[in-house]
Structures are given as C-alpha cells and as structure tokens.
Structure 1
Amino acid sequence: MNDSLRALRFIYGYPLRYRREIITATVIMFIGLLGNIAVPLLTRYAIDIGVLGGKSGSLLVTSVGVLAAGIATTALLHYGKRMRFNVASKAVNDLREDMVRKMMHLGPADVAEASGGRALTRLISDAVSVRGLTNGGLLELANQLLVMLAMLVTALIIDPRTTLLACIPMVFVVIGNFTVQLRLQRAFIELKSQFTKLLAGVGESLANINVVKSYGREADASDRLNKVNEAHTTRDGQMKRTYSRWEAVLNVIGGLPTPIALWAGGNAVLDGTSTVGDLVAVVALVMMFQMSVHMLAMHVNGAFRSVVTAQRLLRVMDARSVLATGEGSTDVPAVGGIHASGIVVDVAGRRILDRAEFRVEPGEAVLLTGPTGSGKSTLLHVLARLRDPEAGSVTYDGVDARTYASEALRRRIVCLPQRQWIFEGTLEENVRFARPEATRQETADAVEAAGLSHIPLDRRFGASTLDLSAGERQRIGLARVLLVDPDILLLDNPTANLDAQTEAALLETVLRVRRGRTLVIASQQPAVAGYVDRTVSLASSEPSAGATATLAGATSADGGKES
C-alpha cells in the first residue's frame, strides 16, 4: 500500500506542478457537471407548474433555462478540458525531461537494469500515460464523486424513499468494480511488460536488420516477435474477456435503479405523496447517477493503471546515479596528471574493477590494454568522471575529481567513445555539437586538423548515416575534441574496425594534433603501442568467478609488473 501511495504521489506530482491551473480547471469542470443537475430540476418545474398548472409562460422560461444550462455546461466543460490538456502536455514534457536527465546520469548497463532494458518505452508509452491521468484518473474521480454526492442529495430532497431504494443496486456495482480492478491489476502489469518486450523487440530487429539479413534469419526474427505478440494478444484477450464478463454482470445490476425508481416513484405519485414532476426529476437524476458510477469505474481503472505505470517509472528514477553529486566548483584549472586509487566499480551486480590503481603523468601518452570485458572503457569513464566508483578516488594534479562540477570538467577532460554519434544535420552542426558557441572558422580549423578537409562543412548527413567510413566517423569525433581543446584526452578503442592503413593514419593525426596533451588510449590493437610512451595492461578474472579487473603494473591491486 505504501508503495502504491508513493507511486501515485510521484506520478501526480507532475500535473500538480501546475497546481493553480489544474485546480482552476477541476473547479470549472465541477461547476459544469453540476449544471447537468439543473436540467431535471427545470424539467420538474416545467411539468408541475407549466404543464399541470397550465402556465405556458413558465414552459417558455424553463425551456430557455434548459437551453442556457446546456450551453453553459458545454462551455464550462470545454474550457476546463482545454486547460487540462495544456497542463497534461506540460506534465508529459516535464516527466520526459526528468527521465532523460536521470538516464544521463546512469551508465548504459545501469539504464538496462533500472528499466529492464526498455528505457525507450518509459519515455514514450509510460510518459504519455501522464496525459491520460491528468485528464482523468484521480482528479476526475474526485469530481465525479462530488457530482454524484450532489445528485444524491438533490434526489433525496425530492423523494428520499424512491432514491434510497434505487441506490441499493448501485452499492453492489461500486463494490464489484473495485473488486474487479484489484483482480485485474496483476494482469495489467503482466500485459504492460509483454507490450514493452514487443516494442523493444521490434526496435532491436529494425536496428539490426542488416545482421538479420546477413545470416538469412528474417523468418526467425519474425517468429520471435510473433511469439511475443501472440502471448501479448492472448493475455490481453483473457483480461478483456474477464473484464467484459464482470462488466456485463455489473451492467445488469447497474440497470436496476431506473425501473426501481419508476416503480417506487410511480406508486408515490399514485398515492399522492409525490408529483409527476418529482417522478421525472428523480428518474432523470438516478439515470445520471448510474452514468456517473460508470464513469467512476473508468477513473478507478485509470487510477489503478497509474500506479502500475508510476512504479515502472520509479524503477528508473530510483536507480542510483553513476555520479554521486552534480555539485562542485565550476572553476576548473588546467590539469594534466591523473591518479586513480583503489577503484571499485560494480555494474548490474557484476564487479568490473576491483581496487584498481592507475597513474598518468602530465603530458604522458599511455596505452591501456587488456582482454574484452576487463574494464578498459569503464576505467576511462571513471577517469573522465562520467561515473563515480563505488570505492576509491580519482585526482587531477592531486585534487579530488569530486571537487569539481562534472559538467565543468568536460572543458578539461574529454572521453571519446568507440562509436561516434552522427546525427541528422551538416558536418558543421555535427562538429559544433561539442561546443555550440564555436565560430565557423574555429569549426573549419578543427575539421581540417582532424583530416576531414575533403568533406564540405555544409554536407548534410542522415541520422546514423551509412555513407561515412569508420575512419571518417572517428575523425568527426576527433574534430569535436579539437573544438573543445581539452587538457586530457581519453580515447576508447578509436581504431576498432579500421584497416591497418586507416588505423596508422588516424593515430598519426591524433599524435599530430595532441600538442602536449595527456593522452590515454584504451585499445587491444598491438600497433597502438608504437605511438605511446608506455603500456599498462588490465587483467580480468574468469567470468564464472565474477569478472573483476585490476591493473597490472607497479600500481596494480595484485602486484603485477608494468609492461
């Protein structure tokens, strides 16, 4: 129960950021819904005074009144809904912004662990649910309850006996709806999970379509998705059939109030204890009450689904950030030396680095090598403070890295990933991504220094463009680095998938534009060793023992020698 309440507080916290607008919209819609009650009351007056009393003027007045009430109700509901739609859009955007910001502080494996590897669905389908709960859910549930109470009180004032008799079946309908929603909540969780797998599977297959085609596995990929789709469809059908059966039973029970009101109210008219106008008004109010109970069930359903969605989102929001804090000094002096001491990193329950020690002197070029999975990339991320270790520390020229704000460090230390992100836009836009305030001339100089002068600055690329070679992609990444002009450059396997000639050309370019920078290259390519001052090896234990990585060398945790 506490988890559900926390989930609801979290998810409704987004629309309630705009408390004034949402309260105003809710009040306006409440007044609009109350306007519906005016119609039965005016009809009652028209029948008893206008028709039975023979006053045609009263009929005209009440007819105009019914028209005015309808127009006012429609206008108020339209305006209230429009305000809610605006708030819903803002709330969805806020949630997505917070989710992206949170994911930016998680490592790739941490995102996968926190969200089941389905971060995209959290940002798309789950985030969109905020729109639905802003326009319905608990907010509309509260409105419906208040309107139902007003209807009930009004009907009780007109004819208490008939109203009470008519409401007896509705008690069972309300209890039944809550029971059904509780039973279906677990099925909805399972259904949501299956939909997530389906969406992720489609995305994975499309992203790797060339690999699928290369091995002629189109049929297998399609069959795998079909199985997930069939399981999703089967479970969805079971849930809908269960809900449909219960809904049919509850609708039969829920249909009893109107005939009960007609029978009891009609007898009251025959007995002379009530008027025809009273009968019509009570029957109309009872029918409206029935419709409100139906709407109430829908909003209760929305509230239950909100809990499930919020719990899924909270798994991401509650995940521990790879950076302990974003605070720190934004004034970062020029740096050159790095010393990592006792570094311990765990990812998804797996020990990646175990008490690793690593030192690079200012202006030194070091090759960091080791087998796949030994933690080379993870160590670079720690050195650049893209993530903080579970234990140990990193210092820059003797100053703890956590002294500085992580964003401010990006001007001094850049870690170039193995695969460069090329987005839709020109070459200039792609390079200036690293420093948007750079001038066109500065961008052109960086492009030329990186060896890309053969590509015009205004050449446009598509997202994940395939018309660039692997070497050109790496050079675009290098141009970004040169535009930032950091003191320390960390390269993660920059020559992967390059032929020997392209590898040599890229490394020569790196050395040419290095200009005394401290350089650390993580790579398994033996040829890289010829371009650096020294080599440090990472040793990895057997996976079955829990993969841990330590640095071989004089500073290694297990006392190996520097190569």
Structure 2
Amino acid sequence: MKPLDPRLLKRARGARVFLAASVLIGVASGVLIVVQAVLLAHGIAGVVLRGSEVSAVAWGLIAVVVGRALLVWGQEVVAQRAAAAVKSTLRRQVLEHSLKLGPVWLSSERSSALTTLLTKGLDDLDPYFARYLPQLVLASTVPAGVIGWMATGDLIAAGTVLVTLPLIPIFMALIGWVTQARSRRRQHALAVLAHHFADVVGGLTTLKLFGRAKAQESAVRRVTDRHRAASMGSLRVAFLSSFALELLASLSVALVAVGVGLRLVDGNLGLETALMVLILAPEAYLPLRQVGLQFHASADGVAASEEVFRVLETPLPERGDRADVPDLRVTPLHLYDVTVTYPGRDEPALDGFDLELRPGEVVALTGPSGAGKSTVLAVLLGFVMPQRGVVVAGGSAADEFDPVEWRRQFAWVPQRPGLRMGTVADNVRLGRPEASDDEIRLALLSAGAAGLPLDKLVGEEGQQLSGGQQRRVALARALLTDAPVLLLDEPTAGLDADAEAAVITALRSSGKTVLMVAHRPALIASADRTVTVGARELVNA
C-alpha cells in the first residue's frame, strides 16, 4: 500500500489543501519540540549545576506546551474537515461516473456492495486523514530537524539515531504487506456480508413462503463469522506490529542513552548537552512509531479508496459533444448491422441487427427471451456501445452527440421500472417537473391507472404498489414527457385486458414514435409493424 495515494490528491482538492496545512503544522511542531528540549535541558542543568532560578524557563515551557496543544487541535480540525470534503467529493464522483456508465454496467455490480462502499467503506477514510497522514507528515519533518539539532551538540548520538532510525520503516514495510492483504480480505468479507444480508432481507417474503427463512440464519451466521475472523486477524497483526515497533524504538533509545551516559561520565559531554540529546532521542523515533500504529487504522479506508478508484477508472463509452441532435419527431432512426457482445460472454446478445424506425409509427420487437430485444433499447439510449454497426439519425451517428442531449429525445420504461419514495404524483412528475395535477391525471388515465390517487404513498423500489401499478405509473411518466420517442419494455405486463386496451389506445393516439418489446398478442396486433429480433430479416405485420 502506498503511504500517500497520488490519486487522492488528483481526485480531491481537499486532500491537497490538507497536505499543505499538515506540512506547515509538522514543521512548526518540529521547531517546538526542539525548543522544548533545549529549555528543559537548560532549566535542569541550571538547577543542578548553578542553583539558578527557572521562572523564565518555566514560562517558556508553558508557552511551548500551549503552542503544541494548539497545533494538535489545529491538525485535528483540518483533518476532520479534509476527510469530510474528500469523502463527499469521492461519493459525488462515483455516483456521477456510475450514472455515466449506465444501467448495464450497474447491473453487473452488486448494489449492496456499492452502497456499502459509498457509506461505511468511505467512512473508514476518517482515521486515514485524522491519524495516519498527520503522523506521516510529522515522520517526514520532525526526525530530520531533531537529528540535525542533536548533531550540533553530539555527533555520535545523532549518528546512532541516524543508523537505527531506518530499521523502523523497514519493519513497517514488512508489516504493511501483511496488513494490506488482511484489509482487502476484511473489505471483501464486509461486501459479501452486506450483499448476502440485503439479498436475504429482499427475498424474505419468498423464503417465508417456502419455509426457508430459518435455514438462512446459519448462512448469515457463517458469513458474519468470516467477517469477524477477518476483523480479528487485522487486530492481531496491529497488536503484534505495535509491540515490535515499540520494542525496536525502545532499544534504539536505550542505545543512545548508554552512549551519552558513558561520554558524560568520562567528561567528554556536558550535562546540558547530554540532557538535550536524551530528551530529543525519543522524539526522533516517536513519529515513525505513531505512523506504524495508525497505519492499521487507516488500512481499511485505503482499501475502500482503491475500490472507489476501480469504479472511477472504469472507462466511459466514447461519445461526442454535439448538441444539435435531430428532432426525432420528423427524423427517422436507423440501426445498421448492430452487433453487441457483453463482457464475459462468447455469444453476441445482438448479431447484425438492422432496423428503421419512422416518425409516428408503432413498432413491436418480438422474439424469444434472450434474443436481444432489451439490448436494442439499450443501444438506442447509448447505454451499450455496439462492437460493430451504428445508430444513425439525420445522417449522423448517434455517438457523435452529447449523451444527455441525445437521451432527451427518448422516454424509457424498462422491465423493472425505477420508482422513488414519495407519492404517485411525485413519481409521474419526474417526467416533466412543471406538469400540473390535471396533466398527471390525464397521463395516469392514458396508462390505465385512472383510479390511482395522486397522493398515494410509494415506498422504496415501488413498495405499496402492485407490479401492475408500478408499470402503469412508469408508463404515465413516459407519456407525460415531451420526448418524441417512447422505448417500452413489455409495457402491459401485469395488466388486465381492459387496462391493456387503454394503454394501446393511449400509445396509438399519442402521436409519438413507439418502439416496444412485446410478447402479448393484443400488444403485437396493435403495432404498425413487427420486427423479429434474432432474425436477419424484418417481418412486417
């Protein structure tokens, strides 16, 4: 693990500000440590050798102690603010990047693992900024200043510290390799636990129905035990490494003390100088020891940040930035020889597919499950980039246009509509925020949901609505938009015959271009044209 990941400095401005402030605080701390040692040595030697008053020295020491306390307070404030800023920045960047990658990429990620990463995972960066990085800065500034000042009084002691000091980073590196591996295992165990628990809770109704809820207790217990074992393993390494570093530093200080004592007895070293060296020697080792101790507290946060950077470094599909998207109310859409193969699969999901979508017509996509019907919609929306072929509108390829401007031309209803917490009106109004209640009622009527109250509460993932109601709300949201093209994936699934007839009538009278994945005979019969996916030719109805 790198002591300071440069990607943090690149991605988060708060980390750069924090590092600059930490360097200034570290230099000031080093100066105060030297001043404190000089004052203490002078005061003790004055009392022992000369019997002089120490009031001036005492006031100086009080000022130094207050100064060091203020620096520690300032470091804590800066660290907490920096940690909050960095976490906020990384969370925002991951969410924005995930949205740009699209739903196809998100479907390949475990939602619970991504949620855990953006909550508990990034919260582990707090000790990294509040404890580890400040000590890392002190370790790079204080020992150099301390050894340099010691050399002005006793070259032998300074040389002893200079020779023994590198032993601590060497041991830290050896321990760090073990800690890094254990932190990654712990992070993986936490992600597995979160995913498994979310999966069990999400399917609890089904498990209870089939009498399998009790059996999941042992599975959750096993996953929890793996997480507990990984956590305890990390703690064991932390305690053992702390003992090793403390022992090494204590032996090194003792070696300096023995040398200073022998030279003091021989008369080759003054008492004030000897005291100054003995006071400064532990201060040279302390920052490195603290880095080793805080390393373990920060390892989980660094492991989480590596997962964040894995998401952020996932390349985005190459798209253009043209904003002059053709008006699809009057411009036809063409798909030429489109071939899509998803990562990890040998067979293409869509192979050499051609389609012409003319303005105002209703086209049904048919074919067996898995033939690539939903992939056609994803290609049109730009969520999936074909390995071969192109989508053309107005004589230009779709990938030349800005994806946000391009998607304004479409309203999409997927197989599992996404609904947010709020009311039915809130969810329908997502399609057009300025829409009035009367316009929302008309959209619901067109979607076959006239009896659905606007103020009916909708829970997370559409809870408190049946599957058919969720689909009707999503369809009403699509009909309410100004988008000229509707992309619908099984829009009447879960609807009765009367509601389906109302939806068909609404689609036919909307004046919009409609491309719908369809299996139900009534929906297929309502289309102007039927396209069979999985066959190279078009089948006209």
Aligned pairs, how many?
538
Q: Corresponding residue for 2:484?
A: 487
User: Which runs of 5 or more structure 1 residues have no equivalent in the other structure?
Assistant: 540-550, 555-560
Cα deviations by residue, 1:489-530 (Å, 9 ceiling, x for unpaired): 11011223344444444434444xx42211111022233212
Asked whether 1:161 is paired with 2:156, we answer yes
Q: Corresponding residue for 1:328?
A: 322
**Structure 1 range deviating more: 134-143 or 284-293:** 134-143
Contact 1:342 1:392 in 2 (8 A): yes
Q: How far is 1:201 from its partner?
A: 1.5
| Aligned AA (1:352) | A
**Structure 1 range deviating more: 332-341 or 435-444:** 435-444
Q: How far is 1:90 from its partner?
A: 1.9
Q: How far is 1:202 from its partner?
A: 1.6
* Cα distance between partner residues in 2 of 1:464 and 1:269: 77
User: Which runs of 5 or more structure 2 residues have no equivalent in the other structure?
Assistant: none
Contact 1:382 1:389 in 2 (8 A): yes
Asked whether 1:15 is paired with 2:9, we answer no
Q: Residues 170, 424 of structure 1: CA spacing in aligned structure 2 closer, same or farther, 3 A cutoff? A: same
Asked whether 1:214 is paired with 2:209, we answer yes
Q: Which of 270, 273, 277 lines up with 2:272 in the alignment?
A: 277
* Cα distance between partner residues in 2 of 1:10 and 1:319: 14
* Cα distance between partner residues in 1 of 2:9 and 2:299: 13
Q: Residues 382, 171 of structure 1: CA spacing in aligned structure 2 closer, same or farther, 3 A cutoff? A: closer
* Cα distance between partner residues in 1 of 2:93 and 2:141: 34
| Aligned AA (2:32) | G
Cα deviations by residue, 1:78-104 (Å, 9 ceiling, x for unpaired): 223323322322222221122112211
* Cα distance between partner residues in 2 of 1:390 and 1:5: 37
**Structure 1 range deviating more: 463-472 or 365-374:** 463-472
* Cα distance between partner residues in 1 of 2:4 and 2:78: 25
Q: How far is 1:186 from its partner?
A: 2.8
Cα deviations by residue, 1:325-364 (Å, 9 ceiling, x for unpaired): 1522255424352211111112223221111112222211
Q: Residues 162, 386 of structure 1: CA spacing in aligned structure 2 closer, same or farther, 3 A cutoff? A: closer
* Cα distance between partner residues in 2 of 1:212 and 1:388: 38
Q: Which of 8, 33, 38 lines up with 2:35 in the alignment?
A: 38
Q: Corresponding residue for 2:471?
A: 474
Q: How far is 1:73 from its partner?
A: 1.7
Contact 2:187 2:300 in 1 (8 A): no
Q: Residues 331, 452 of structure 1: CA spacing in aligned structure 2 closer, same or farther, 3 A cutoff? A: same
Q: How far is 1:279 from its partner?
A: 3.4
| Aligned AA (1:407) | V
Q: Corresponding residue for 1:355?
A: 352
* Cα distance between partner residues in 2 of 1:130 and 1:248: 25
* Cα distance between partner residues in 1 of 2:357 and 2:139: 67
**Structure 1 range deviating more: 144-153 or 241-250:** 241-250
| Aligned AA (1:279) | A
Q: Corresponding residue for 1:65?
A: 60
Asked whether 1:197 is paired with 2:197, we answer no
Q: Corresponding residue for 1:409?
A: 406
Q: Corresponding residue for 1:548?
A: none
Q: Residues 139, 344 of structure 1: CA spacing in aligned structure 2 closer, same or farther, 3 A cutoff? A: farther
* Cα distance between partner residues in 1 of 2:125 and 2:242: 26
Cα deviations by residue, 1:220-248 (Å, 9 ceiling, x for unpaired): 33322322332333344344434544443
Q: Corresponding residue for 2:364?
A: 367
Q: Corresponding residue for 1:462?
A: 459
Asked whether 1:98 is paired with 2:93, we answer yes
* Cα distance between partner residues in 2 of 1:435 and 1:143: 55
Contact 1:48 1:276 in 2 (8 A): yes
Partner of 1:118, secondary structure, is helix
Query: What aligned pairs does 1:138-537 form with structure 2 within 5 A after superposition?
Result: 140-165=135-160, 169-298=164-293, 308-321=303-316, 323-325=317-319, 327-336=321-330, 337-350=332-345, 351-439=348-436, 442-443=439-440, 445-511=442-508, 514-537=509-532
Q: How far is 1:437 from its partner?
A: 4.2
Partner of 1:297, secondary structure, is helix
Asked whether 1:86 is paired with 2:96, we answer no
Q: Which of 34, 37, 51 lines up with 1:54 in the alignment?
A: 51
Q: How far is 1:35 from its partner?
A: 2.1
Contact 1:15 1:22 in 2 (8 A): no
Cα deviations by residue, 1:45-101 (Å, 9 ceiling, x for unpaired): 111235532222xx1111111111111222223223323322322222221122112
- TM-score, structure 1 normalization: 0.85
Identity of aligned residues (%): 23
Q: How far is 1:267 from its partner?
A: 2.8
Q: Residues 198, 420 of structure 1: CA spacing in aligned structure 2 closer, same or farther, 3 A cutoff? A: same
Q: Residues 13, 304 of structure 1: CA spacing in aligned structure 2 closer, same or farther, 3 A cutoff? A: farther
* Cα distance between partner residues in 1 of 2:30 and 2:451: 68
The alignment yields a C-alpha RMSD, in angstroms, of 3.1
Contact 1:88 1:130 in 2 (8 A): yes
